[in-house]
Every structure is written in C-alpha cells, then in structure tokens.
A and B are shown apart, each in its own frame.
Chain A
C-alpha cells in the first residue's frame, strides 16, 4: 500500500512547536494553551497512522451481455483491522455506466465484510476488463491515507444488438451445399424452373404429363435447387470518424453482426475480413459456433493506425472463396481500402459496397470560405470515388447513421435486380 500523509499533520506539529517556543520566550501561558490542541492533534495523527488490512474481490454475475442490458458487479470488501473510511473506485471502461455512484466510500468495522452491488449498464459493444479496484483507506480524521489496487479484473463481452433485417442480398451464384437460397441453376429442388425433353436417367416422377401430351414426346420438369451461399463481410478498419460516442466503425460492426446473424440463420457460410492496420480474418463457416466466433472477433475490432501499403494479396485465398458474395462495409476514407475493393471486383467477386457514411460525423466547417470549400471538395471527391465504383459495376449504397440497415440493402437489391453479372 502507498501511504500518504496530510500536509497539515506536519503543519500542526510545527505550529505547536512555534507556539510553545514563543510561549516560553514571552512567558505567556496563553501561547502554550494555543499550542496544546495542535500538539494533541499531531500526537493523535501520529498514533493513528497504522496501515489497515484490506481485501477486495470483484465478481460479475455473467461474462456475456447484450448491448443495453444490465450486468451486476459485486464488490466485496473486508478488513480484519477495520477502517474508518474506505474509498473504492471500480475501474470501469467508458462503455459501462454504473447505476450507482462510483467511486463510493464505506466504513468497515473490524472483521466486517461489506458487499456492494454495482449494477452496470452496457452502453456499447466491446470486449472489456472490469476492475480491479482502486482502494484508499483513511483514518477517522483524514491524517493518513493508504492507496492500493485490490481484486482482479473480470472479463466481460458485450455483444452488439442485432437489427431485424427483412430481406437479405441474394448472391449471383450459390455454392454446392444444401441451403435456403434458391439457386439460379437448374437441378433437383422444389421451385419450378422450366421443362425440357426427357433424357435417359430422368425419373418418371419428373415427367410433365401435360407438356408430354401436348408435344407427343416425354418432357420433364426442371427445378431450381436450394443451395447455400458464401458471404464474406469485408470491414474496412483503416480509419473511422467518431462523434458523440458513435462512429463509422461502430455502425459497421453493428451491420456486420446483423448480417452475420441473419445469413447464418439460413444455413449460409459467413466469413469476416477485417481489412485495416491490423489484418484479421475468419474463414467462412456456418452454425451458431461461427456466429459466436464472428461476434467475438467483431467486438475486438479497432482502428489501428498504419501506413503500410496493404492489398487483397495479403489475405489467404480461403478467406475469399470463389462465388462468394462480398459485402464491403467501409467509410471510404482510406485509399488502400478503396483500391482493395476495386481489386476484389477485378477478381470477379460478387461485390456490394455499403458506404458507412462519415458525412453526418463531420462538421461542414464554419468561419470562412476555406473550410466550406474544403468540405465541398471532400464531398466531391467522395462522389467521384462512388462514380468510379459504379463504372466498375459495383453497387455502392450510402448508409447514413440513424437509417435502418434495411434501407441500403433494399437499394442494393433493387440495383442488382436489373444488373447483369459480368466478369470484369
């Protein structure tokens, strides 16, 4: 424990000494009387300076929570020697808001154990460490204080809330495994596709008797098979813009979580690529375990400043499987991610760019012509970049903070309804 003594303790002793010497010199008992309380306070202060024994433990009622939920933090304090005042500060990340005051001060009788419940509201997603506690014990008159860190930190994962998505983007091409996505190809399935002449090997149950009767030869039905798709969520983590606790990365993570949750619930394989200063990826897979893997990787994502030139070549080929639908969530702020997206398109990936708009997070600039001009130029450069994507056949849709994710997805779906997939 670090011991801190109040400066007034030495001051009191000095005052008492001064008054006593003055009293002695002047021969006045009043000055000795004046010295007495300060001498007494100094003696009391020196005598109460014994280090108290303190123990503290921290416990969370669970390790995982959803954004907006409450998590209970229990701080247990005990002291065999007792302490007149114990100030306790549980070290909490900004994203966790305590429902009662933190720090707080309690009194501990000798041998007493106090349990303090500290409900925490999870304001934002993330992987956090709750604790330890900073503890400061004081004597009854505040002459001495002892400070230390007690307890261990507990991990807490706060998952982002999932937005309800009405419709998902269908990919141009499906994979070979069975899923819920209607393939454009023809084969065994439920949904009727077309009729064709019978060929050896066709089963009798597939014969379309009405067409056969009309044409005088055997015709069979063809169906669209139900297949799964590979979806890669491509997150641009090179840069972000933040304002009032909201940021473009925050929006991108929420969107990625919602998309992963929805795609995985319909048996698709979903992978994640975090393309930024710190490169990370998750190979596409399906199932609940994959959902947890994705969300765990998403909540640990952060913008890492880097000046290294990075391209799609750095990614392992399996992280971007052929025929995969790549949904890029990007604020289009860094030239490296902008060119990587064009590179993906050039490699023939079915690509959709959801531009997480940084515009609402940026002030237009006031107080002169230059800031306003700079702002307009910045907007224009963004328009130019968007037009470049559109020329390359990449649907780009702007997603503004506060607008449901369904809106940009619907815009992309409308674009793709009339678009013809071409190899760049």
Chain B
C-alpha cells in the first residue's frame, strides 16, 4: 500500500522531494525545486525567458553517476544545454512532477501533523538535537515545509503543556469552586470538536480524498479542426516559449506554499489564543486560591472557633435513659393458644372473630 505521506516525510527528511532517473549507463539524482530555485531561474533567464526551464533543470540536478554537481546554475547550464530537446523536455516534465509532489506535500502537511507518526518524528528530531546531531541532512537552511512543521509542532508542544497544567489546575480547583465543571465542559467540547476535525483530516489524507485533488484538472485538449487563428495562436505560444501547463504548476505551487505557511501561522496563533483564554479562565476560577501559610497564621486560624454548640446529644441521651433504663417493665401482648400457636392477646383485633360475633337481622324493604 502506498504511503499517503511519503512526499511529506521525504521533504521533512531531505528538505526536498528526491527522484532517481535511471538508464542502463546513467543514474541521475534530481530534487524538487525550492521556491528559491524558482526565483533564481526567473532572475537568470530574465533577459532570455526561453532558457527558464534549462536554468531550473540545472538547479534541480544533484548528481550524475554519483558525481555531485555544483549549485552553480550558469556552469551546469553551459553543459546541460548540450542535451537533446527530447531529454530536456522529459527531465523538465520530471521537474514539474516533483513540484506537484511538493505542492501535494503542503496540502497533506496539516493532516500529517495530526498523525502520531509526525509527533514521533518530532521527538526524534528533538532527541537528536539534544545529542548535538542535526536532523537535517546537509542542509544549510530549513525548507518552508520544514519550517511549517516545526512551527506547528512547537505550538502543539505548548498546547499539550498548557493542557496538562490546565488539567492539574482543574483537579485542584474543583474542590473549591463550583464553576469548574462548567468551564471544564466548555473546553472539553472545544477539544472534542478539534479532535473530530483532526480525525476527519487524517481520514481524508489516508484515503487521498483531499479537495485539492479534485481541482487537479489542468489538461485540456481539443480534438476539433483547428482554424487558422488557432494555429496562429498555438504557434505564437510555442515560438514565445509559453508553456501554459507548467506556468500553472509553478504558480499553484507558490500559491499553495504561501497559503499553507499562512494557515500554519494562523493555527499556531489560534493555539496560543486558546491557551491565553484557558489561562484567563483559570484566573476566574482562582477565587479561593490555595496559598501557603506560616506557622503563626495556622495557629491564629486554629484559634478561631468556627463551631456551633448544641445540646442535641444530651436530649437523645435523656430519651434513651428514660425509655430503657429508668422505665418500668411491661408484659408483652403475645400468648400461645391451645393449638400451640403464637397469637395476640387482643382478640378484638381478629377479623374472623368479628365476623363470627355478627348477629344477622332482617331489614324492611
């Protein structure tokens, strides 16, 4: 089964999405272009836009047959411009596919952050750093995706810490304040909603059913007969080096990246805001705070009488004494009849006797 988060994990590990292109004699390693690579290619080909794709390709090639290529677009481009147009086009399509994978990774990042796997990876990053080992493999700077992930995990760490403090606080506060249960219910509902949202995100990501996949219809081809104007326009686009599909991929990638960075920041802000509100609620609940007392204060408090003196016990004692100790002995009401059965002495209370004693009389009609 394919890992739905493969592109996210690869990019967190390397800072880019890697691709290996193999032929019987050549093995080429490529990487997904970073936003800086896209900008750099744009600047380098500013005067000659038709070389944009070659410059971009120069920046995405990492090694050929194990020889690591320099990150010098001009130098690589001078040699790369000697390959055939067929190969150039193929490699450029690969570059665009890598860009698409990067874009998908941005879309999947939020769902991945909600997975336990992400948190385990985050812990392993932190553990590596504790031992002085950088979790980044030969990277000089964090990629936007890595930055996003770190921002989210840091915010999540704070959230978990806040929640833990909150739970402890509620536990102690519940003994003193009746409002605690209301506040707890309020925040519990909020957490349930959040967990439900996270679960739906995880499910969508695992099944690949994200909204962005539905919009990925970028190919349009017409099979109708072309007019001369169509032909003119097509030729003009071709001559001008305009590649509509690729322009769209690059634009969407940049938009997606910016949107996701913004959303992550907003999520982190929301988490901080929630933590702030919880703290505000804590202040409300702290009407009778637990404070440390000095010995003198304890003594003073112990001298203050906070009891009501009543004679309730004395009354009860008198009742018991008069009934069971001082009171005279009386005979019981039970006896044993001729048949040896226990019966009450008060025969007048017996219903059968009452019936047998009845005298029948006639009434005038």
A and B: real partners?
Answer: no
Q: Measuring CB to CB, which residues of chain A are less than 8 angstroms from any residue of chain B?
A: none
